[in-house]
Amino acid sequence: MEADYQPALSPAKVLTAVNNESEDPYPSLSDFHDYEPNLEFDDTELQATSTASVQLLEEKLDLTVGVIGSGIEYLESPVSDGTIEENFEKELVDAPVIETADDLAALDTELADEEDYHDIARLGIVEVVGDDSAGRKVIVVSACKLPPVGKEAFNHAKLLRYLTHTLDTFVEQDYSLVYFHHGLTSKNKPPLSWLWQAYKAFDRKYKKNLKALYLVHPTNFIRIVWQLFKPAISAKFGRKMMYVNYLDELAQYINLDQLIIPQQVIEHDEQLMLKNKKNLPTSPPPSSIATPVGTTQFGASLQFIKENNRGDPIPPIVRQCVEFLDTPDALETEGIFRRSANVAVVKELQSKCNQGLPVDFQGDAHIAAVLLKTFLRELEEPLMTYELYDEITQFQTLSKDERPRRVKILILEKLPEDNYQLLKYIVQFLSRVMDRCDLNKMTSSNLAVVFGPNLVRAPPSRGMSLSAIGPINQFIDYVFTDQDKIFII
């Protein structure tokens, strides 16, 4: 499908002549369906860009003008969303560029946690959802939600601060980023200089644990920008980028039901599917089980699992994961519950578990940790039920004196008995993980960031908002740190 994107004379080939490079573009999931993100990271990630690097970028832009001005015409990309002007090369050239290092340093002076981001957050440009199939947090960025730049110019600098502020909560663990490109137009796209600032602002700590960057519905605009920035971007970071032509391709790696996908992106994807249906590979219909068999645990309800396991409120796979992890070697594993695991291995173990077959963690604590998180995430209803969602998200509004009483009422009185028993079992185990935080680096707050979205989920009709993440994590952190006062022995 990558061929769908190639014009008669592609911008990539033009810039190859400029850069004297012959390297192939980074892979599309259309061509490499089994492509796995490189889970290693480069310890020598891109350092601070010098003035010379900025000048090099300007020179490339000037050269691009010469090429464009030579009479070469570009064909419309088959995957263009119809809103981005095809003569975007000129727009890139006309965009302002950074001239001094002070332009970049000025961003840092404005970064502050106490800044009010309500005006940015309400737009929904950035959302944090659950985990992908490898157990990594998923952050979604939707270009279509960027407001048009009118008389009252949108504050792109503040948006950048909001992005870094949001990512700061998650960069210490493996995470994936999904970028929905459709909807970026000449009216709402940021200037090229802002894109450069964004890349510089996301320094090594943000790039290190980013394991996959999915560019959904890319057009030639993305490919041109990528070629312009490519000389300053490390090869290892580049290998984390993947072009995704259709939502069906993204579904191989991320459960689309947990993503907040704008309606216009869904409609655009449907149009692309119809337009290019002759070029789509034929695949057999997915097999599904209408009624779960008695051994099913992943995706089932706690009541179903209990009824099929001799009335034990602790599901067998949870008990097996905890018993494996509750050993000195596993408890002392640095980054336990924060690192991802091989997608294929996790899916294979899920399948074996649901078939009632033995599960082997291969001596890898990260596999067991991801499997435990996956079980909680795929429960038919979250462990902290939908009914309790509103109370949990209001946790921050409670006074410190009021919190102990309200949390006890919520957990001891309002939580169903089976949910209570499982929550108690998991929290008491995690207290032993926290006891080894000097070695595994997993404090109560770190564990809350990891387990919050897996224990508490918004009702399907509402979706999880970014503003709810903070209160949820704070509530879970409180439960972890005060578990000895909450749970009845």
| pLDDT of the residue at 119 | 81
Total-model pTM: 0.57
Q: 182 and 215 in contact (C-beta within 8 Å)?
A: no
| pLDDT-derived band at 57, boundaries 50, 70, 90 | very low
| pLDDT of the residue at 281 | 52
Amino acid at 62: D
| pLDDT-derived band at 279, boundaries 50, 70, 90 | low
State the average pLDDT over residues 172-188: 86
Q: 385 and 419 in contact (C-beta within 8 Å)?
A: yes
Q: What angle do CA 44, 49, 53 make, to 5 degrees?
A: 120
Rounded Cα distance between 374 and 383, Å, is: 12
Rounded Cα distance between 233 and 235, Å, is: 7
Rounded to the nearest integer, the mean pLDDT of the chain is 75
Q: In angstroms, how far apart are the furthest CA atoms of the chain?
A: 79
Measure the N-to-C terminal CA separation of the chain; round to a whole number of Å: 59
Rounded Cα distance between 141 and 178, Å, is: 6
Least confident of 182-186, 273-277, 324-328, 395-399: 273-277
Q: In Å, what is the CA distance from 395 to each residue of 132, 460, 482?
A: 27, 21, 15
Query: Is pLDDT above 90 for 474?
Result: yes
| pLDDT of the residue at 362 | 92
Give per-residue pLDDT as tens, 80-124: 343 333 344 444 444 444 444 444 444 444 444 456 777 888 888
Domains of the chain: 117-272 (3.40.525.10), 302-486 (1.10.555.10)
State the average pLDDT over residues 400-411: 94
Query: Is pLDDT above 90 for 371?
Result: yes
Look up residue 409 and give its DSSP letter: I
β-pairing verdict for 137-142 and 175-180 = parallel
